[in-house]
Amino acid sequence: MVDFDSLNAIIAPEAEAMGLALVRVAFFGGESDPTLQVMAERPDTRQLTIEDCADLSRRISEKLDALEEAGKDPIEIAYRLEVSSPGIDRPLTRRADFADWAGHEAKVALKEKLDGRQRFNGMLVGIDGDVVMISDKEGVEHRLPFDAIDTAKLVLTDKLIAATVPLSVEGADEMEEEGQD
């Protein structure tokens, strides 16, 4: 069993020390390929460079290795560490995500049924305290308790693509392909 509160408490300070915001810590893959997935972003761009991923991965690995040596490993099995940006059709995991991405389409799944439904698709209206608001295709606004949400993610649309800051390609023209002199 993975203690996500402990993992978040270990990983968040490493991300914050780099000026990054932690988006999600997840563990998946089952027995055949257990993977610790860490998603983070730069608050100003909502993205992560390859260098950011590599640096954060090193920091997390060093921290977890030190805990393992001290006999305090929060993950007791062998696993693979994956550090990435949340991507364009990102998961919505923090209250601020629902406010920041208001006006965009999302899919929300609840832990249990609410008013006979467990899944909601529609336009994010925002968040009011601990209540996420989403408007379905019929224009009906649903109020979903934040703590009742199991998963939520943005839906890839032209509007979302247009709203996403393009990645910087600075320095790309200076890169050499392998085998070139």
pLDDT per residue as tens digits for the range 135-155: 999 999 999 999 999 999 999
Three-state DSSP class for residue 16: helix
Mean pLDDT of 168-177: 55
What would the two tokens of residue 143 be?
């109020």
pLDDT in tens, 155-165: 999 999 998 86
Check: CB of residue 91 under 8 Å from CB of residue 153.
yes
Cite the residue boundaries of each domain of the chain with CATH code 2.30.30.100.
95-163
* pLDDT score recorded for residue 76: 85
pTM: 0.83
| Top-confidence residue, 144 or 89 | 144
Cite the residue boundaries of each domain of the chain with CATH code 3.30.300.70.
4-84
Does the domain spanning 4-84 belong to CATH 3.30.160.270? no
In the CATH scheme, what architecture does the domain 95-163 have? Answer: Roll (2.30)
